[in-house]
Amino acid sequence: MNNIIIGNRIPRDFFITKGKGESDITIHAGSYHLAMIDAGIECYNLMTYSSILPPIAREIKKPNSYDYGSVAETIMAVSNAKKGERATAGVIFGWIHNKETGEKIGGMVCEHNGNYTEEEIREKLNASLNEMFTEYCKKYDSFNAFELRDITITIESIVPEKNYGTAMVVLCFVNYVYPIVAGEENE
């Protein structure tokens, strides 16, 4: 039998969206889904990733259509609140570059959520990304070799007038590269 061995798939194109919703019924089948509708991702099945962007990743505009029920792999922040309470969600990402060559090494993403004002969550997001970058540099003993550039922050917030509210920010991957790590082999 001939086989091709592929490595772990690498996310490539992604878009950022945000939404908010409120419901008198519940969170998950209510305000959460309504936030998905507001974000334009209501027909996806969402799965979550951790917080790394490969160097080949690139931000695109949100596609106008997709297959109903398809899986969307995401990095996301979601905040839920009760009537009159604030729910705020935010995502920040930036790109690590080699200072000398300008080469893009990859990206880092941080998510945060809670009952914060938009300014408070912006501060927390910046602090989280700076901490993540600092620890990366410590690990590779590279404080002078790398810099963090092209930082993007997206925030959504709601104070629901109904019983439940949800705010979400979603970084959503839409396609992947599958690296071939070995040619054909006979078993």
pLDDT tens for 153-186 read: 999 999 999 999 999 999 999 999 999 988 655 4
> pLDDT tens, 63-106?
988 889 999 999 999 999 999 999 999 999 999 999 999 999 99
pLDDT of residue 187 exceeding 50, the answer is no
Phi and psi torsions of 122, nearest 5°: -60, -45
Q: Tell me the pLDDT tens digit for each residue of 109-150.
A: 999 999 999 999 999 999 999 999 999 888 877 778 899 999
Q: Which architecture does CATH list for 15-59+69-177?
A: 3-Layer(bba) Sandwich (3.50)
pLDDT reported for residue 54: 97
Tell me the residue type at 72: A
Query: Measured between alpha carbons, how far is 98 from 73 in angstroms, rounded to an integer?
Result: 28
Domain segments of the chain: what residues? 15-59+69-177
Read off the tokens for 26: 């519940």
29 Cβ contact partners less than 8 Å away, ≥ 6 residues apart: none
Residue 37's pLDDT band, with cuts at 50, 70 and 90, is very high
